[in-house]
Chain A
Amino acid sequence: MVFEQVATLVVTYLGLSGPLSEAVHFWIYDSLKIMAMLVAVIFGVGYLRTYLPPEKIREFLDGRRAVTGYLLAAVMGVISPFCSCSTIPIFIGLVGAGVPFGITITFLATSPMVNTAALGVMPGIFSFETTVLYLASGLAVGITGGFTLNRLGMDRYVKDFEFGEPETEIEDKNWRQRTRKAWRETREIGTEIAPYVLVGVGIGAIVHGYVPSETVQSYMTGPLGVLGAVVAGVPIYTNVLGVIPVVESLIGKGLPTGTGIAFMLSVAALSLPQFVILKKVMKKELIVAYAATIATGILILGLAFNLV
């Protein structure tokens, strides 16, 4: 593959050897591979998403109850915009339209945890099975989280908003406009995500070249490893795409897959800056319950996957 050849060429040209050569090779190869896949996935999904503006998401979820509502909300969360800052206005719009509370929470929780860019990139980095496991985990945590918080009556802790008339007009676009919009989105999101990917691959490269497998196998396996992965995700604020190369390296060194998935989900869903944003729409009781429910869900799934 051309990226492999470029990485090998650079490492040979620089005359590197040993762990440094492995780390630099990993950094160049993975950065090129992930960025190329990202551009393709963001463009493709960006184009398809022009058919699903937030107003359509609201239409889909409005009036839904029980199983269909939760399932649809989780799926909508997966294909929603890449930036979590875009999820909050949609969440408010759903609340304002009277979509049941549990369903709105499922959307809110699934959206940062599972995104289409990650799903597009993961099969090329991990196995197809790991990608499916990651998708299923995110959906399961989002759905059970929304359902649980609803049953606990936490809807009373959503902040009160005065809702204006929601926009109902959905602009129709021709393919040229859709392509332009998708391409703009690819440029904007690609530029935004690139630094996270480069740093993430850099950390992955250091792990790949310098961290002995024995260290990972001694300290990061077992049930405490999953708990550690969930807790470690809290202070980290990055895009899930920046975490993928780190987890890739760690799994290569013997990290159990369940622990790796738990870490990815935790970084995406439980990061502190995310809660600062949520504080604008939720009272602290709901934020604590939301964090506890999602963390418990991730922990249980991580432990379960490691047992299988």
Chain B
Amino acid sequence: MEVRIYGAENCSKCNYLKEKAEEIVEDRNLDAEVVKVNDPAELAKKGIMSTPALEIGDEVMVKGEVPPENRLEEILAENT
């Protein structure tokens, strides 16, 4: 399952969310690959206005914030 993190290259919160998601995927041995999407065209396609955003499958689960770690863990564990 692909976990997509949307946000610009210089968005530190977005890069932090990607790192945290990768850590959780590795620690919990989840079957998921975390990828960062920097292209604004992709944001436009999804209608996302707040970054960072986290998408699993076709569903945007987080937008505009880095969720607390336990919440992020819950999202990743339940949806991947």
List chain A positions with a Cβ less than 8 A from chain B.
53-55, 58, 83, 85-86, 88-90, 92-93, 96, 159, 161-167, 180-181, 184-185, 188, 192, 273, 277, 280-281
Contacts and interface: CB of A to CB of B under 8 A. Distances in A.
13 contacts: A86-B11, A86-B50, A88-B8, A92-B43, A93-B49, A161-B44, A162-B44, A163-B45, A164-B46, A167-B63, A184-B66, A192-B12, A281-B40
B43 A89 contact: yes
Contacts of A167: 47-49, 60, 63
A96 B39 contact: no
Contact of A85 (B47, B51, B60, B68): B51
Interface of B: 6-8, 10-14, 16, 39-41, 43-51, 60, 63-66, 68
Nearest to B12: A192
B66 to A, nearest CB: 7
Contacts of A55: 49
B12 to A, nearest CB: 5
A163 B47 contact: yes
Determine chain A's interface SS by DSSP, over half rule: helix
Contacts of B16: 188
A88 B40 contact: yes
Contact of A273 (B10, B11, B44, B64): B10
A159 B40 CA distance: 10
A54 B44 contact: no
A85 B40 contact: no
Nearest to A273: B10
Nearest to A181: B65
B7 A96 contact: no
Contacts of A159: 41
A184 to B, nearest CB: 7
Contact of A96 (B44, B65, B66, B68): B44
Given A181-B65, A277-B8, A281-B40, A89 B48 contact: yes
A86 B45 CA distance: 17
Question: Interface centre among A86, A88, A180, A192, by most B CB within 10 Å?
Answer: A86
